[in-house]
């Protein structure tokens, strides 16, 4: 009787299905993986910028990007004023050129209101805004200006200084200090919370 070779193989020896056995992972491989993980984490920490959308190579961290921001320094009031002006605050109506918008918003460039030797009126109208007819450089305007009392004394002093000392606009008036803004703010915060009327402002002594 001829035997079936396939049957022979199947029945020969162990009839159980082959099984895979578990072999322990060598300890050096685990150590290597932990070391790689550690190196990867250190590398990411140093170069990854922690997934910030503001950090691109070649910058490695937000601190490094920030170190390249050369905005107006604390020492330069004029530059700080330029930043405040373009925040955008004043620039929205009076334009980057300081020329305003004919018939709507009066110019700041070479304006007699800006170039007053004493800044009292200008600080008031920036702090509380303006409402009513005003004549600037021989042209009359009738619109309302927003109050900017949410800006700090330092910011208001800087932006007024920027406008008053802007030689490109033909302005040349003395600078304004945060202390001046502070004293005016204290004076009007209770006494006159509403926007000023230009006629009212004319009655106030500008030195106060």
By CB under 8 A, name the one of 48, 61, 65, 206 that touches other proteins. Answer: 65
Residue 114 φ then ψ, to 5°: -75, -40
CB 51 → other proteins: shortest distance, Å?
Answer: 6
CB 49 → other proteins: shortest distance, Å?
Answer: 10
Pick from 147, 97, 103, 144: nearest CA to 123: 147
Q: HSE of 180 in the Cβ direction (CA atoms, 13 Å)?
A: 21
Distance of CA 36 to the CA centre of its chain: 40
Interface with other proteins in residues 139-198 (CB under 8 A): none
Q: Determine if 76 is a binding residue for other proteins (CB under 8 A).
A: yes
3-state helix, strand, coil in the chain (%, to 5): 45, 10, 45
By CB under 8 A, name the one of 59, 148, 177, 206 that touches other proteins. Answer: 59
Helix (H) or strand (E) holding 121: helix 120-128
Binding mask 111-150 for other proteins (x = CB under 8 A): ----------------------------------------
CA-CA distance, 52 to 54, in Å (whole number)? 5
Q: Determine if 22 is a binding residue for other proteins (CB under 8 A).
A: no
By CB under 8 A, name the one of 33, 42, 96, 202 that touches other proteins. Answer: 96
Residues that bind other proteins (CB under 8 A): 51, 53-59, 64-65, 67-71, 73, 75-76, 82-83, 86-88, 91-92, 96
């Amino acid at each position: 009787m001829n035997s079936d070779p396939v049957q022979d193989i199947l029945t020969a020896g162990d009839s159980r299905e082959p099984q895979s056995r578990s072999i322990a992972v060598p300890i050096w491989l685990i150590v290597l993986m932990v070391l790689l993980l550690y190196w990867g984490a250190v590398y990411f920490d140093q170069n990854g910028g922690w997934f910030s959308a503001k950090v691109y190579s070649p910058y490695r961290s937000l601190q490094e990007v920030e170190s390249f921001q050369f905005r107006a320094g604390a020492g330069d009031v004029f530059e700080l004023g330029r930043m405040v002006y373009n925040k955008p605050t004043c620039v929205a109506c009076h334009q980057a050129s300081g020329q305003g918008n004919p018939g709507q918003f009066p110019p700041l460039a070479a304006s007699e209101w800006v170039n007053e030797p004493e800044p009292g009126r200008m600080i008031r109208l920036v702090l509380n805004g303006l409402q009513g007819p005003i004549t600037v450089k021989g042209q009359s305007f009738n619109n309302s200006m927003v109050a900017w009392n949410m800006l700090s004394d330092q910011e208001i002093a800087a932006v007024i200084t920027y406008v008053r000392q802007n030689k490109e606009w033909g302005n040349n008036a003395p600078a304004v200090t945060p202390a001046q803004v502070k004293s005016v703010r204290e004076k009007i915060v209770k006494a006159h919370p509403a926007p000023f009327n230009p006629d009212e402002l004319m009655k106030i002594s500008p030195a106060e």
